[in-house]
Amino acid sequence: MNTAMPFLRKIFIKTYGCQMNAHDSERLAAMLRTFGHEIVDCEDDADVYILNTCSVRERAEIKAVGKSRYLSRKKLRKNNALLGIVGCMAENLAENLFKLNPGIDFIIGPRRISELPAILAGENVGRVALLGEAHSEDAGESARDFSSAKICASVSIMQGCNMRCSYCIVPKTRGPESYRPMDSIIAECETLVQNGTKEITLLGQIVNNYGQGVLEYGSGKSPFVQLLERIDDIAGLERIRYMSPHPKGFREDLIEAHSSLSKLCPSVHLPIQSGSDRVLRAMRRPYTRARILSIVESLRAAVPNIALTTDVIVGYPGEREEDFSMTVDLLNAVKFNMAFVFKYSPRAGTLSASLPDDVGADEKDRRNKILLDMVQKCSIGHNETMIGHGVEVLVEGHAKRGENKLCGRTRGGDKVIFDGQDRLIGQLVNVKIMDSAITILRGKLIEI
């Protein structure tokens, strides 16, 4: 029998990248706590530093490598401290990371994160790299700390991505798609709701691919829509969101779900990437601008005020001025509430990495700025239209600034700040919008 005391650690986790990564960090923290480790908010208090990293653009990697070098200097001043890189950059740069920063002790890819507690169990960790495969039965989705269930929680429904968009590193870092069993997702949602969660965001690289080729269609409904229907039935849950769908599989059943499911929020993040069919083809995105316009038209017919957001890449190899104009044109035609604009960043190991990155930094900057200006105007315009209206807000907590200020979101996803008492946190309230800025709305509680 092993009677040795487990080696308990104070662990600091810093997260880069998308919601999926934030969710992985949450799960990782919960898992480590169950092993008796403590998660600390301040790196100075820690004896294990973990960076959960992103590889989607070069800049994200440069930042994380820089931070790791800073932490490895800090580590030298402590006895027995450890530095680990987990997540997408760990998978992408693999053992090269040990060369970039010899102070790194372990690297763990996104599919192997649940093996971290075992690594920390020993006093002498040594150099470890856990990369590649490993999708557990439940796609790595067991640990969750329900005792601290949040008002708005994320639930991962799948891992990985089967598409091959020419620019994207994610299929390399997160591997092929694997789907969680539907019953397990439902059970997790139910337990969250029993513990106080009011809003659930379903997460996946392409959520509307959920269950494809594995689960059956029923009455013309995709497995993803069937999942939405079952979650919509959970008593006590108020809102459902999902992130992100792909335009490719955005069919009538999902559009119809937006009008028939009362808890499904009227907001969709629909990444278009470009408005030029030529560039979309080059990116291997299997849809056209006409298809985007038709999805938007159907969504708006089903839910008139649906909030639409998107992702766009500028400066893809060979993107000509006329291609860019088509993107401007599509953004103008759709009037997204918000768009995230990215300058193309070549990623080694992707299909487009072999193409000349020929748009040039200055031109990418110019195109980026034009789109950001447009987006800002759209966002300001949208926020102004909200003034004077009463909206339903799910109160998430205290606003970052201001005494007695609470913050929450509308069903469309707009952030609202208003005066109110703590007892309202976790409740749905009605707020009249009085004023707006670029990213927030300010309002007044409507007493009932």
Binding site for ligand 5AD (CB under 6 A): 56-57, 167-168, 271, 273, 311, 313, 342, 344-345, 347
Site membership for ligand SF4, residue 18 (CB under 6 A)? yes
Shortest distance (Å) from residue 108 CB to ligand SF4: 13
Q: Which option in ligand 5AD, ligand SF4, none does residue 266 bind, with CB closer than 5 to 8 A by kind?
A: none
Of 68-97, binders to ligand SF4 (CB under 6 A) are: 87-88
Residue with tokens 């691919």: 209
Count of Cβ atoms closer than 10 Å to residue 165 Cβ:
21
Site membership for ligand SF4, residue 274 (CB under 6 A)? no
Q: Tell me the Cα Rg of the chain.
A: 23
Contact 88, 17 (CB under 8 A): yes
List the end-to-end C-alpha distance of the chain, in Å, as a whole number. 63
Shortest distance (Å) from residue 9 CB to ligand SF4: 24
68: tokens are 């790791």
Shortest distance (Å) from residue 220 CB to ligand 5AD: 29
Q: Which is nearer to ligand 5AD, 317 or 426 (CB)?
A: 317
Shortest distance (Å) from residue 97 CB to ligand SF4: 15
Go through the chain and tell me how many residues it has. 448
Q: Which option in ligand 5AD, ligand SF4, none does residue 311 bind, with CB closer than 5 to 8 A by kind?
A: ligand 5AD
Cα–Cα distance, 346 to 356 (Å, whole number): 9
Q: Which is nearer to ligand 5AD, 346 or 397 (CB)?
A: 346
Count of Cβ atoms closer than 10 Å to residue 304 Cβ:
8
Largest CA distance in the chain: 71
Cα–Cα distance, 158 to 237 (Å, whole number): 21
Q: Which is nearer to ligand SF4, 54 or 359 (CB)?
A: 54
* Ranges assigned E (strand) in 338-420: 338-343, 390-398, 405-409, 415-419
Contact 288, 280 (CB under 8 A): yes
Q: Which is nearer to ligand 5AD, 101 or 345 (CB)?
A: 345
Size of the site for ligand SF4 (CB under 6 A): 13
Q: Which is nearer to ligand SF4, 55 or 267 (CB)?
A: 55
Cα–Cα distance, 160 to 178 (Å, whole number): 6
386: tokens are 């909200």
Distance of CA 361 to the CA centre of its chain: 27
Q: Which option in ligand 5AD, ligand SF4, none does residue 57 bind, with CB closer than 5 to 8 A by kind?
A: ligand 5AD
Distance of CA 144 to the CA centre of its chain: 17
Cα–Cα distance, 339 to 308 (Å, whole number): 9
Shortest distance (Å) from residue 59 CB to ligand SF4: 11
Q: Which is nearer to ligand SF4, 17 or 245 (CB)?
A: 17
Give the binding range for ligand SF4 (CB under 6 A) out of 14-22, 178-186, 306-314, 362-370.
Answer: 14-22
Of 148-187, binders to ligand SF4 (CB under 6 A) are: 169-170, 173-174
Cα–Cα distance, 436 to 378 (Å, whole number): 13
Site membership for ligand SF4, residue 56 (CB under 6 A)? yes
Shortest distance (Å) from residue 34 CB to ligand 5AD: 31
DSSP conformational letter for 420:
-
User: What are the residues binding ligand SF4 (CB under 6 A)?
Assistant: 17-18, 20-21, 54-56, 87-88, 169-170, 173-174
